[in-house]
Amino acid sequence: FGARWAALGVDFEMYGKDHSTNTPIYDSICRALGERAPEHFTYELFLDDKGQKISKSSGNGISIDEWLTYASTESLSYFMYGKPKTAKRLYFDVIPRAMDEYHQQLQAYPGQDLTQQLANPVFHIHNGDVPVSNMVVSFSMLLNLASVASAHDKDVLWGFIRNYAPEASPETHPDLDAAAGYAVKYYEDFVAP
């Protein structure tokens, strides 16, 4: 890695703590090649629901693609943003909470003063251009509705959503529409079986 850093002019390197023992060696190689070693950021490992290290070979974790089957990219960014130096338990049951907390932060943002906005994760996730959340029903509620209604289509959920929020539609509330689709998929894969 040290030679690669020198050749490519790398000035920042992130890595899991399992690689941190080699950092001084890589830094020495980079400096020996006449380049400045990059700034480093070590993050904790990801753990499964039992607190064990996630491993590709044991298949006890979820991939980014799997997360994005059940929730938005922004919810994953929100999950990753919090406490980067603390080990995170990454398994399917954290997805609904991340979705709900992300939208709670979006909804709180407009009413916050500048200091609070700068401390709000959504400011950083969206590089200061924070969108408005149109989630009039939480993701957890959508999951409950999908379970109660045995929904295999988001249109079933929209029947319930319109009773609660008559002004909402898939066209006017695209985040809610996407969340309804995610809720149905989550229900089909984790609750219904």
The residues spanned by each domain of the chain are 1-43, 45-191
Beta bridge partners of 47: 53, 89
Q: What is the mean pLDDT of residues 47-59?
A: 73
| pTM as predicted | 0.80
Q: What is the mean pLDDT of residues 20-48?
A: 88
Angle at the Cα of 10 from the Cα atoms of 41 and 87, rounded to 5 degrees: 20
Buried residues in 70-100 as b, exposed as e (16+ CB within 10 A): bbbebbbbbbbeeeeeeebebbbebbbebbb
Quote the pLDDT of residue 56: 65
Distance CA 102, CA 110 (A): 14
Distance CA 62, CA 118 (A): 30
The larger pLDDT score, comparing residue 93 to residue 116, is at 116
Three-class secondary structure of residue 143 per DSSP: helix
Q: What is the mean pLDDT of residues 112-132?
A: 97
Distance CA 134, CA 104 (A): 11
Calculate what percentage of the chain has a pLDDT beyond 70. 98
Average pLDDT, the chain: 91
The larger pLDDT score, comparing residue 14 to residue 39, is at 39
Quote the pLDDT of residue 95: 93
Quote the pLDDT of residue 146: 96
Q: What is the mean pLDDT of residues 108-127?
A: 97
Asked whether the predicted pLDDT for residue 99 surpasses 90, the reply is yes
One-letter amino acid of 1 = F
Asked whether the predicted pLDDT for residue 67 surpasses 80, the reply is yes
Helices (H) and strands (E) in the chain, counts: 10, 4
